[in-house]
Amino acid sequence: MPAMHAGLDDERLLVLRPDPDSPVPLYLQLSERIAAAIQAGFWHGDEPLPSERALTDLLDVSRVTARKALDLLCERGLISRRHGSGTYVTSQLEVDLGGYVPLTERLAARGLELRFGQQLAEVDIAEQDEMLQLQLAVNARVLRVMRTGGVDDEVYCVERLALPAVAAPDPLPENLQEWLQGYRRSVVRVIQKITACSPTSALLDVLCKGQEQALLRIEQQEFAHDGRILLFSTVWVKGGDYTLLTELQC
């Protein structure tokens, strides 16, 4: 079997395999999973993607499926084909918005204290997005935590975070929040993605009090000094409650 990429092993790339039982066409599934893997840092700008043949051999898909998936990514501008060389990830324009400030500190600067409660923690098989964002192998386990954050007795945000189960203590400590704070002290780099979204039925009840409104979804990968991804989190906040202000030098 051909090597997929010098920095990635075949086992970790199995997370890209489409679900044959899904009603979604295989090439669409594969295209979305490769796009998510690029966003998660599996490959960076100007790095080569696996060839059509390599994708076919490893993921048990047809050559046509692999080609159509890559064609879609080319149309979206995420990858480009270089004649005689292969397929490469497109270099994306990035803007550095300055130093990272955690949400708790942003609120503290406004005189508000964010308190977390209603915590649910479990060790389970990683879900698709967790495998991609933490760059885990198929069937790897994660510690998953769901919790709400409140300000002045009002629910301000809902947070879901996941980290490799091998990094979590066994048994889990009674004060898991304190342990998480200590665990995150090793973070030296953060990649954050902020997008608008509509609330799910669960978020509508918990965060929006049943009132339909736009939310912001803040997805975040947190890295150690050696490049390992320590944690992946998603925070949902009401759009009107979160403001990002930055000064850019021209």
Q: What is the pLDDT of residues 196-234, one digit of tens each?
A: 888 888 888 888 877 778 888 888 999 888 888 999 999
Task: Please report where in the chains the tokens 């051999």 appear, as a residue.
Answer: 57
- Mean pLDDT, range 54-74, rounded to an integer: 92
- State yes or no: pLDDT of 242 exceeds 80: no
Closest CA to 239 of 195, 190, 184: 195
Could you give the percent of the chain with pLDDT greater than 70?
A: 88
- Mean pLDDT, range 12-29, rounded to an integer: 86
Band of residue 7 on the pLDDT scale cut at 50, 70, 90? very low
Distance CA 35, CA 10 (A): 18
- State yes or no: pLDDT of 92 exceeds 70: no
Closest CA to 44 of 98, 93, 92: 92
Closest CA to 128 of 21, 19, 222: 19
**pLDDT value for 241:** 63
Distance CA 113, CA 103 (A): 10
CB neighbours of residue 169 within 10 Å: 10
- Are the C-beta atoms of residues 47 and 88 closer than 8 Å to each other? yes
**pLDDT value for 124:** 95
